[in-house]
Structure 1
Amino acid sequence: MALQLTFKLRYRTQFGQTLYITGNHELLGNLSLDRAVPMQYQDDNFWSVNFTETQLANIDALITYNYVLKNSDGSTVTDWGNDKTFNPATFTTSDVVMMDTWNHAGYFENAFYTVPFQNVLLKANYTDIAIKAPKKITHIFKAKAPLLAKGQTLCLIGNDKLLGKWDTSKPILMRRAEGDAYYEVAIDLSTATFPLSYKYGVYNTEQKQFAYYEGGSNRLLFNEASKSRQTIVNDGFAVLTNNQWKGAGVAIPVFSLKSNKSFGVGEFTDMHLLVDWAKKIGLKLIQILPINDTTATYKWMDSYPYAAISAFALHPIYLNVSQVADAANQAIVAAYEEQRKQINYLAELDYEAVMAAKTSIIKQLYPLQKAATFKSAAYQAFFEQNKHWLVPYASFCYYRDQYGSPVFTQWPANNQFVQAEIDALVAEDAPTYDALAIHYFIQFHLHQQLKAATQYAHQNGVVVKGDIAIGIYRDSVDAWQQPDLFHMELQAGAPPDDFAIKGQNWGFPTYNWQRMKQDGFAWWKQRFEQMSHYFDAFRIDHILGFFRIWSIPLHAVEGIMGYFVPAFPIHKNEFHERGIWFDLQRYTKPLINEGTLWDICGHNNDYIKENFLDFDGFGNYSLKPEFDTQRKVEQYFATQEASHYNLVIKQHLYDLISNVILFEVEGSNGEQFHFRFSMGQTTSFKQLASDTQAKLNDLYINYFFRRQDAFWKEEALQKLPALKRTTNMLICGEDLGLVPDCVSDVMKQLGLLSLEIQRMPKDPKTEFFHPNDAPYLSVVTPSTHDMSTIRGWWEEDKPRIQKFFNHELGQWGIAPTFCSGWLNKAIINQHLYSPAMWSIFQLQDLLGINEGIRRQNPNDERINVPAITPFYWRYRMHLSLEDLLNSHHFNEELSNSLQQSGRA
């Protein structure tokens, strides 16, 4: 028997727009957008498509589908979610109409169908009720209402007698099966009078009475019932208040945790105590920094958590070796007990000491426990699921140790990833097997311990938020294994800002997005999948990198020598069109004359001239060829005495080299250029005529703030929607820095949470951002790991703090010199009472409200200073988690604040 299946979508299109349907069935194009089925315009409210198929009638399987909007410019948007489904075997008629509503990804409600809410935060709200289906079903009504409380369900009521004639004492109750998104009810409307007018409402199952109607106008249903037709009405979200849920969380790196049993560093097992504390005071989220393996040199420089040698492997430093050791081998761990106590007592992390001790213990445990571990079903399942990254990672670690360096480009052999070589290396009968398999052993136990920690969090109503770094370490297994995914000739970073006036150079290669797109961003999808094993939500570090990335040539050291990629460059004709005198040498080469030398080098200019410059005989100088790039200068001074004077001279040379207006696009033959950021602050610019300065500045503003926006928006929309669809975790984008106008629009379209920081307003016309102005889909925080804490900030800039004290806190008089507990608490409360979905605080900022418990010196609380490279990431809690749990006065004070603000 043929099945007639009609899809009708409520959608009011604009001229030039068309709609398609796609799904995981051959009839619907098997999820290929190129094969999506076109729909027909029906009227101003509906598009439809009809299928008459015999093949569908015999299927007993769930088919998932979505609608696709194609714009006149060729861009596409897919409606959100994977909950539009049907199973042909459940149809009771041969004529079925699926009447759907478009689900915009930016709707607030979609956030509540992500993992943290469905699996943890809203799970206890589920209310099951029994409803009786009629013998004959003509219509099935479906709607979603994610924030109904325990004891509530949706109900249906309307104008027809079959819908209760608007009598709220007789609503039609709807039921949601556990784990499903929709509330549903099946009705026989074969004798109803159409069109129907109806609404959804909320019903209290405990009091057994109607509570209230949804908002908005009455809903209308025009199609008539038929004996041979069944209509499934998917009305999307009930119109209920969707922004009343609010939560608060704590942010702290795992390495900063301290318990009485820690081994000098926070471990995954310490997260259990952090969960206990969070639950005790009412926090609903724990946020951590990246936890990937950064072991490149075995020195303290590896403490930088954003320089992972693997985008997948966990860091061995977080392993609790006592839990790894079985009962027979506890003596091995016990032999290090005195050392453990000593380094655990330290105020800060001693990275090298911790790594050395743990590595020694693991090397002793591995030969004794490998056989039992590798035979276990849990290990075998772990290996099978993760071997795609685990085997290359173990191989890379082996070569790193064999050659004494992670710089694979300099290895005497094996500097390219060759699968046949790896297969031979990792064979179980190979002499190298144990040197590699120890990494399998470590990663398995890390996986077990982190998984246990996050499961414990879930059991206690707390969700865990991870952090996915935007970059990968240049000397990493990812770059070694798949170098074609990266632009190894460039370095990622950030342009100058108030926190790093020379910009930031992270040293990471940038992404080859064109290559990544060819396989559907498979590498990124694997990263997201890996995150989902442990986390409910995650922060995308520097989400601006999905729009454009600040790219720095390898010959440069400072971030200020970079430019955005991709970007439309300036063509030399634009200078002529604007009446700007153009001189290739003058604009693209460092301007070095007597005035420049005095401005930049001061009294050191004679030494600079004698040792590093050539004079052209006409009042200008040029850098000697051996010093004409920042990298050459860096390499030279690496061989010199590490004195303060040499540091000053090196910086002078860096500043001379960066004293340019334009960077020529490589291979453009002097035709195309990028502006140097902060061009107006260069001595080269200041020595131009005022008329030229004004015209150049207009072109500069056009280049950075106008011409790129639509282009960057298109770039992001090619990547982020596809990546977001691969995961159901809640995603927050770290959208700080020089933010293009398109970023906010794209994040709203995709329902990504923004990050809002009080002292870093996104509006350049304001000095501070007030938490009360935050959008609902956002995270508000007074500080991050890259910034000073509230107390540290209070002592940094007195004139700015004075404005903050008077205007943001509404206080009279002179601002106090130091941030007392009540001031710290006032700032915390501003964030707690924000309309944002989440307010998340560094632990240090929370401790700051209580002068009896907080650290004495706020400068000891800072985690990272971006302007200092390399920086030693070694901050640890000054009190143990056990002590924190027993700090009753502080806990009560903070708990009261959370409860009063409605976030507990």
Structure 2
Amino acid sequence: MTLQTQASLLNQRQAGVLLHISSLPSAFYTGDLGVESYRFIDFLREIGASVWQTLPINMPHADNSPYQCLSAHAGNPDFISLESLQAQGLLTKEDCTGLITSKLDLLDKAYLNFSKQSDSLPEDKKLHLAFARFCKKQASWLDDFSLFLSLRHHFNEAGWSHWPELYKNRDKKTLKQAQEQLAHEIAVVKFTQFIFFSQWLALKKYATEKNIALFGDIPIFVAYDSADVWAHSDLFKLNADKTVSVVAGVPPDYFSETGQRWGNPHYNWDAMQRDGFGWWISRMATQSELFDIVRIDHFRGLEAAWEIPATEETAINGEWVLAPGDGLLAAIKQALPEINLVAEDLGIITVEVEALRKKYHLPGMKILQFAFSGASDNPYLPENISENSVVYTGTHDNDTTLSWYNNLDDYQRGNLHAYLTATHAEGYVPNMPSDLIDMALESKARLAIIPMQDILQLNGQHRMNTPGTVTGNWHWRFGWQQLTSAQKESIRTVISRTGR
């Protein structure tokens, strides 16, 4: 069985669950690619779901936001399963049961054990050959990233723009010396990425065997403090001294009077076009290898993006600047004809953005928590949702549905109750979050995604992220003891009943 064609993945009615890897149960401080990830795939199959959606799985900064990462390619080492390393003989049980100061320290130890292995043993030789193949295949980004991360550690985790000038500006002689001096550190970074990719692709193989598609997510922009901007500064709008000239964000709207100033550098689209969008194609090729479906976050930025002068403290004094989304998507589709893309098209979307999405037949997103404004033309009302859509009760940026319902104002609550009465019967008593889950799965959208928090009927204390805040996010994890047999049967029944 294969999950590789657009027809098999995005043109049939399906249901999925949104749960980031970090939210899986784990004996350690975050979920990982160990036994619980396989158990979750078994759970999806048991309830009749066929899609697992995660957040970006790249290596984050210290705030753990998966939307501000150190590389557009490198995986998050926190997601590496230590039990799997034990099974390979690269770590002992004692290594993993003592006081763990850092998973990176254990990965360093695993590399040392790997480097001591004898090539005379077939399994060891196989692993060494696989590592060598990985380093060669991924060299276009891995060489820069491993040096970047090693230098960053060498300079006490300072961002690359604060490094000494010769390192910051990638002086060839200086970098060659650094590669020699930091050879061990560089090898550990490469080995860590090899382990991450190996564990992820093993999970993906298992998911495919169970008819579960992995649905990933990429931020449209990359962090300024990333290997990508350091190694390809010409592809970004930077000043002569490599400081940021303009930064990304969104203008003022009903969510914020001052807009949102994200701080990411903007792309130098002219430079990117000159080499046929090579950086983007490489980035999407990595994601296509790791995932069966990929969501482009803030898709509208491919048509036009809000550029804010870096000197501005808010997003108010920005301007819309056109982007070559048509040329970019054409190049991606030509290079990766089997890639399955979804457009995050939430918010105020222009006719031009909608035309771009439709030209490439990309499903857009519909959030039911946004549906009950009282307007009959609200695009999130179930009757206004087209088949070529991915419908959600809410996303990682929304409150849980139970908490959303409990905090609705009287006007929206009245609209919701009237809607439920019209679709059920007079005197119907709302039942949240089940009503919204049913609504999503009953909709015309081919793909319906339910956050795990809603399946578990959890309140707002279990929210994943609150946009505009910088603390208290990305920490939520669930435990299997929270899942009742009634909840499991309820979601299984509605998935089956709605033909997904």
The normalised TM-score by structure 1 is 0.50
Cα distance in 1 for residues equivalent to 2:83 and 2:490: 35
2:407 matched residue in structure 1: 796
Distance 2:171 2:140 in 1: 14
> Is the Cα contact below 8 Å between 2:390 and 2:448 reproduced in 1?
yes
Q: Contact (CA 8 Å) 1:379, 1:444: kept in 2 or not?
A: yes
CA contact 1:290–1:305 (8 Å) conserved in 2: yes
Q: What residue in structure 2 maps to residue 754 of structure 1? A: 364
State whether residues 759 and 782 of structure 1, in contact with CA within 8 Å, keep that contact through their aligned partners in structure 2. yes
When residues 499 and 557 of structure 1 are mapped into structure 2, their CA distance, relative to the original with a 3 A threshold, is same
3-state SS, counterpart of residue 306 of structure 1: coil
- Partner of 2:295: helix, strand, or coil? strand
Q: Is the 8 A contact 1:495 1:504 kept in 2?
A: yes
Residue 717 of structure 1 pairs with residue 478 of structure 2: no
Can you list the C-alpha shifts for 1:326-379, whole angstroms capped at 9, x where unaligned? 565543x43442668xxxxxxxxxxxxxxx431222232222222547972211
Matched, 1:310 2:75: no
> Match of 1:732, SS?
strand
Is the CA contact (8 Å cut-off) linking 1:395 and 1:436 kept in structure 2?
yes
* Cα distance, 1:900–1:316 mapped onto 2, change above 3 Å: same
| CA distance in structure 1 between the aligned counterparts of 2:90 and 2:74, rounded to whole angstroms | 26
1:893 aligns with 2:487: no
**Structure 2 residue matching 1:840: 3-state secondary structure:** strand
CA displacement 1:601-634 (0-9 Å, x = unmatched) = xxxxxxxxxxxxxxxxxxxxxxxxxxxxxxxxxx
Cα distance in 1, alignment partners of residues 88 and 355 from structure 2: 57
Secondary structure of 2:138's partner? helix
Q: 1:814 to 1:514 in 2, by over 3 A?
A: farther
Give the structure 2 partner of residue 620 of structure 1: none
Counterpart amino acid of 1:394?
Answer: S
Q: Give the partner amino acid of 1:363.
A: D
Change (3 A) 1:725 1:501: farther
Shift in CA distance, 760/716, structure 1 to aligned 2, threshold 3 Å: farther
1:860 aligns with 2:461: yes
Q: Deviations over 1:532-558 (max 9, x none)?
A: 211111100111110111112111222
Give the structure, 1 or 2, with the largest relative contact order (CA under 8 Å, sep 6 or more).
2
Pairing partner for 2:416 from 805, 808, 829:
805
Per-residue deviation at 1:803?
A: 2.9
Q: Displacement of 1:294 after TM fit?
A: 1.6
Counterpart secondary structure, 1:756:
strand
Partner of 2:48: 282
Structure 2: segments with no counterpart, 5+ residues: 118-123, 238-243
Q: Which of 290, 294, 297 in structure 1 is aligned with 2:60?
A: 294
1:265 has 2:30 as partner:
yes
Larger Rg: 1
Task: Decide which of 84, 87, 94 is 1:334's aligned counterpart.
Answer: 94
In structure 1, the residue matched to 2:13 is 246
Residue 117 of structure 1 deviates from its aligned partner by 5.7
Q: Once the two structures are superposed, what CA deviation does each residue of 1:744-793 show, in whole Å capped at 9, x if it has no partner? A: 22211211111111233699874572123211111011211111121121
Output the CA distance in 2 between the equivalents of 1:419 and 1:280.
55
- 1:875 matched to 2:476? The reply is yes
Checking the alignment, whether the CA contact within 8 Å between 1:770 and 1:808 is kept in structure 2 is no
- Counterparts of 1:889 and 1:546, CA distance in 2: 43
Structure-2 separation of matches of 1:902 and 1:307:
37
**Amino acid corresponding to residue 436 of structure 2 in structure 1:** I
Distance of aligned partners of 1:536 and 1:419 in 2 relative to their CA distance in 1, 3 Å threshold: farther
Q: Which structure has greater helix proportion?
A: 2
Q: State the one-letter code of the partner of 2:139.
A: K
Matched position secondary structure for 2:316: helix
- Residue pairs, 1:280-429, within 5 angstroms: 280-295=46-61, 299=62, 301=63, 303-325=64-86, 330-331=91-92, 333-337=93-97, 356-372=101-117, 376-412=128-164, 413-426=166-179
Residue 389 of structure 1 deviates from its aligned partner by: 0.7
Task: Describe the shift of the 1:366–1:794 C-alpha distance in structure 2 as closer, same or farther (beyond 3 A).
Answer: same
Measure how far apart 1:265 and its partner are: 0.9
CA RMSD for the aligned pairs? Answer: 2.7
Q: Distance in 2 between matches of 1:117 and 1:891?
A: 29
Tell me by how many angstroms 1:438 deviates. Answer: 0.5
CA distance in 1, matches of 2:315, 2:157: 26
Q: Say whether the 8 Å CA contact 1:772–1:831 is kept in structure 2.
A: no
> 1:617-696, aligned counterparts within 5 Å?
none
Q: CA 1:383/1:846 → structure 2, altered by over 3 Å: closer, same or farther?
A: same
SS in 2 for 1:465: strand
Give the equivalent residue in structure 1 for 2:236: 486
Distance 1:545 1:484 in 2: 20
Give the equivalent residue in structure 2 for 1:828: 437
Which residue number in structure 2 is paired with residue 502 of structure 1? 258
C-alpha distance after superposition, 1:288-322 (max 9, x if no partner) = 00011124xxx4x2x11111111111111111122
Q: Distance in 2 between matches of 1:456 and 1:779?
A: 24
Equivalent position SS for 1:291: coil
1:420 Cα deviation after fit: 4.6
Match of 1:847 in 2: 456
What is the match of residue 28 of structure 1? none
Q: Distance between the aligned counterparts of 1:722 and 1:716, measured in 2?
A: 10
Relative to 1, partners in 2 of residues 1:325 and 1:806: Cα closer, same or farther, differing over 3 Å?
A: closer
Q: Check whether the contact 1:116–1:537 (CA below 8 A) recurs between aligned residues.
A: no
